Chains A and B, each alone.
Chain A
Amino acid sequence: MNAVSGAVAWLTTASHWSGEDGIGHRLAEHAALTVGCLLLSCLIALPVAVVLGHLGRGGALAVNLANVGRAVPTFAVLVLLLLTPLGRHGEWPTVIALVLFAVPPLLTNAYVGMRGVDRDVVRAARGMGMTGGQLVWRVELPLALPLLLTGVRIAAVQLVATATLAALVGGGGLGRIITAGFNLASTSQVVAGAVVVAVFALLMEAAFEIGTRCGPRWARARGAR
């Protein structure tokens, strides 16, 4: 109970919300990192996955990438990038690590979605004289969208988690509140930071959940997580 009241006290102290190390600034950093890297990873992964899925090539790569993303520790990649010459360039190691770990779920789910389109539908569209481009935009992509959006959702939650770990290697974001708490041996601050991070991650997940439930029928994400 002591830890709970300590965390509540830490969170309700006004000075902890403002300034460079304040929750407000860290929250903004975290949101910027997450959203920016999500857009960047989507720009990289989705076109590749859609083209590969359309052509039916590179399936082994697309599927195994997800397994690689699970086996390689995010923390190890963050530290390795920090020790490379890139490490001297501010937030770049963090951004690269975040993108590296957001790409696999995006690529895999979009690819599986594209390949999951009913072959009869594709043949019918071809029979109607659609070109490859028309087939992708009008048939395959709309039908693959639910699974593609599931990939975006998984990537978003992964980004929140990896951005938190970035604090361990000197990056910004909400994780800094936790690491600072560890350095100060302040359990209250550690727990308070963790609560903020957990709430941020859950809100992100909830936003996607509400979006997929209330969104148009064709965009409703389904399938495995």
Chain B
Amino acid sequence: MTAPPDDCLARNDWICGDYLSSRRHILLGAVAEHVQLTVVSVALGLVVAVPLALLARRHRWTAGPVLGLTTVLYTIPSLAMFSLLLPVYGLSSALVVVGLALYSLTLLVRNLLAGLDGVPAEAKDAARGMGYGPTRQLITVELPLALPAAMAGLRIATVSAVALTTVGAIVGHGGLGNLIYAGMNSFFKAQVLTASVLCVLLAVAFDLLLLGAERLLTPWRRGARTARRGRARSAARRPVVAGRQP
């Protein structure tokens, strides 16, 4: 008769190196699924949000309904949202993607509109004076100037999507959420903690990646940023945008 192994897996420790090495493939697979679900859903949200924001800006009367509808969507709790989509998509990853995309719409449309509204009138006048048509003005002047606000929305939407993907475990497509769900049912502490930590790291990584992309895309703000840092150090004065998860 062999004695039971006395390692951290058998003791069910919270932190366990053996778990990391022996279940590496499972963890990597879950991270890959998590990244895929997040990226596809935010990309889908962006594809829908840009025309909506442009529509709301072009025809002012549509702004109220568009913002109202996306706010209503954002109010619905995530578990209910995924459940409401169940008859349409069944137990599929499409359900999670569509649910997450609907949530990202609110943040993306709001911030895109705020960015477009914040374009200085002088910049638009100058573009018009130089003979730019409406489309060219939009693409070469207004969208680049709206980029910082839009990227702020994109970052918040992406970080929220990473966290919310875990709820997709209810339909079996939650990336790291699947590991948390399975770990809960089997009281596997190392699995739950590892998956949770990876989830937070993933959110931070996405945030930093998008921050880097924003810096690359807006080279003209580089000088302004360093000049401003000394004076306006209090980020506290900026309005707070949606500090919650549905």
Contacts and interface: CB of A to CB of B under 8 A. Distances in A.
A: contact size bracket: 35 or more
B235 A63 contact: yes
B163 A197 contact: no
Interface stretch (B20-28, B42-50, B56-64, B70-78): B70-78
B217 interface: no
A48 interface: no
A3 B89 CA distance: 12
B5 to A, nearest CB: 21
B122 to A, nearest CB: 26
Contacts of A108: 240, 243
A150 to B, nearest CB: 8
A198 B187 CA distance: 31
A143 interface: no
B: contact size bracket: 35 or more
B77 A164 contact: yes
Contacts of A191: 83-84, 86-87
B79 A178 contact: yes
Interface string B151-177: 000001001101110110110000001
A74 B192 contact: no
A157 B246 CA distance: 8
B200 A71 contact: yes
Contacts of B86: 3, 187, 190-191, 194
A164 B180 CA distance: 17
Interface string A83-97: 100000000000000
B123 interface: no
A2 B184 CA distance: 34
Contacts of B164: 73
B84 A154 contact: no
Contact of B166 (A75, A104, A178, A197): A75
A194 B170 CA distance: 13
B229 interface: no
A157 B128 CA distance: 44
B237 A70 contact: no
B195 A201 contact: no
B204 interface: yes
Interface in B190-238: 192-193, 195-196, 199-200, 203-204, 207, 234-237
Given A191-B83, A193-B83, A201-B80, A76 B242 contact: no
B243 A116 contact: no
B131 interface: no
B192 A158 contact: no
Contact of B244 (A79, A158, A202): A158
A195 B77 CA distance: 10
A172 interface: no
B183 interface: yes
Contact of A197 (B77, B87, B162, B169): B77
B9 to A, nearest CB: 15
Interface of A: 2-4, 59-60, 62-63, 66-67, 69-77, 79-80, 82-83, 101, 104-105, 108-109, 111-112, 115-116, 154-155, 157-158, 160-162, 164-165, 167-169, 175, 178-179, 181-182, 187, 190-191, 193-195, 197-198, 201-202, 205, 223-225
8 contacts: A63-B235, A63-B236, A75-B180, A105-B240, A105-B243, A105-B244, A168-B184, A205-B75
Given A69-B243, A75-B169, A169-B184, 14 more contacts: A59-B236, A71-B163, A73-B180, A73-B196, A75-B166, A83-B183, A83-B187, A154-B242, A168-B170, A193-B83, A194-B86, A198-B77, A198-B80, A201-B75
